[in-house]
């Protein structure tokens, strides 16, 4: 399976992401959705959050499991059960590290373009009570090792259900060295007069809208689910308060390519 039909010749910026199947069980890989179960309609007006929601690919659970931790550090301190007590043909989750960590299998060995790592994490802004996804960074341009996706249960005795069809892992490539080569600095805003002017214009517009909304509280509550507040709309539309011209390259949605399945029908389970 290959992430993109673009070749390096057709698109010099294309990053290859190939998933080689290493186990005889199926786990769908799909572009991450911008939707989350907990988000009310108005929450989707937060563009930074919805873009983060889509920044990668989901691995979806083929069957449901429920895990309960007894609070011990032992591998045996985790109990995993299935709906109606029926064990599936293959078991996705197990206790491998102890400490209430649920380890999910990943039936692929991933390979990235040279110089790119693979970020392994839980779905962005995905809330699962009593469980926290653990993250990893793999040098997937050379590593021949497989990995597990791990979730840490918080409190003993409280069941956590991972539902079939829900994402249990999110992946995306990251160019190696970008973080190390970043030069972080702290400066006073006065050192950039143009940026200060834009920021003060933003504050003035935001404060005006907040004052205005106090007089329209009832109407605002009625429409909160269906409209954008004006000070949010500038960023949403990719423009500055001081300049209505849209910023080139601004995005409202990400358009990730789906994985192309290059296996033959006989090679699929």
Domain that holds residue 141: 17-180+253-267
pLDDT the model gives residue 226: 46
Residues 29 and 159 in one domain: yes
pLDDT the model gives residue 71: 96
Residues 29-42: tens digit of each pLDDT:
999 999 999 999 98
Residues 108 and 222 in one domain: no
Residues 158 and 25 in one domain: yes
Residues 176 and 51 in one domain: yes
Query: Distance between CA 162 and CA 34 in Å, rounded?
Result: 19
Q: Would you say residue 170 has pLDDT above 60?
A: yes
Residues 164 and 220 in one domain: no
Which of 236, 241, 247, 245 lies closest to 204, judged by CA? Answer: 241
pLDDT the model gives residue 231: 43
Residues 105 and 211 in one domain: no
Counting the structural domains of the chain, the total is 2
* Most confident among 3-7, 117-121, 187-191 (mean pLDDT): 117-121
DSSP-derived pairing of the beta strands 108-112 and 78-81: unpaired
| CA distances (Å), origin 203, targets 134, 138, 199, 220, 242 | 37, 41, 6, 20, 12
Residues 212 and 83 in one domain: no
Torsion of CA 164, 166, 169, 174, to 10 degrees: 150
Listed in sequence order, the residues at least 6 apart from 132 whose beta carbon sits closer than 8 Å to its beta carbon are 122, 151, 152, 154
Q: Is 226 inside any structural domain?
A: yes
Residues 214 and 130 in one domain: no
pLDDT the model gives residue 228: 47
CATH at residue 32 = 2.70.40.10
Q: Would you say residue 45 has pLDDT above 80?
A: yes
221 versus 119: which is more confidently predicted?
A: 119
Residues 61-117: tens digit of each pLDDT:
999 999 999 999 999 999 999 987 788 777 889 999 999 999 999 999 999 999 999
Q: Is 66 inside any structural domain?
A: yes
Residues 208 and 80 in one domain: no
């Amino acid at each position: 399976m290959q992430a993109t039909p673009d070749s390096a010749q057709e698109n010099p910026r294309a990053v290859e992401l190939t998933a080689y199947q290493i186990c005889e069980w199926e786990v769908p890989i799909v572009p991450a959705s911008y939707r989350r179960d907990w988000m009310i309609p108005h929450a989707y007006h937060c563009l930074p959050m919805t873009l983060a929601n889509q920044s990668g690919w989901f691995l979806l659970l083929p069957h449901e499991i429920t895990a309960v931790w007894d609070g011990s550090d032992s591998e045996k301190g985790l109990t995993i059960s299935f709906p109606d007590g029926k064990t599936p043909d293959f078991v996705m989750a197990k206790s491998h590290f102890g400490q209430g960590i649920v380890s999910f299998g990943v039936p692929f060995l991933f390979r990235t373009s040279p110089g790119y790592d693979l970020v392994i994490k839980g779905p962005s802004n995905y809330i699962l009570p009593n469980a926290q996804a653990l993250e990893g960074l793999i040098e997937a341009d050379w590593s021949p090792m497989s990995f597990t996706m791990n979730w840490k249960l918080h409190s003993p005795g409280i069941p956590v259900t991972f539902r079939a069809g829900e994402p249990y892992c999110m992946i995306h490539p990251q160019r190696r060295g970008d973080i190390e080569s970043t030069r972080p600095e702290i400066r006073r805003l006065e050192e950039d007069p143009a940026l200060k002017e834009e920021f003060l214009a933003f504050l003035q517009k935001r404060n005006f809208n907040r004052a205005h909304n106090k007089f329209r509280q009832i109407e605002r509550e009625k429409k909160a689910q269906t409209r954008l507040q004006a000070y949010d709309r500038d960023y949403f539309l990719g423009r500055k308060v001081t300049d209505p011209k849209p910023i080139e390259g601004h995005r409202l949605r990400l358009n990730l390519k789906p994985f192309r399945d290059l296996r033959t029908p006989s090679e699929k389970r």
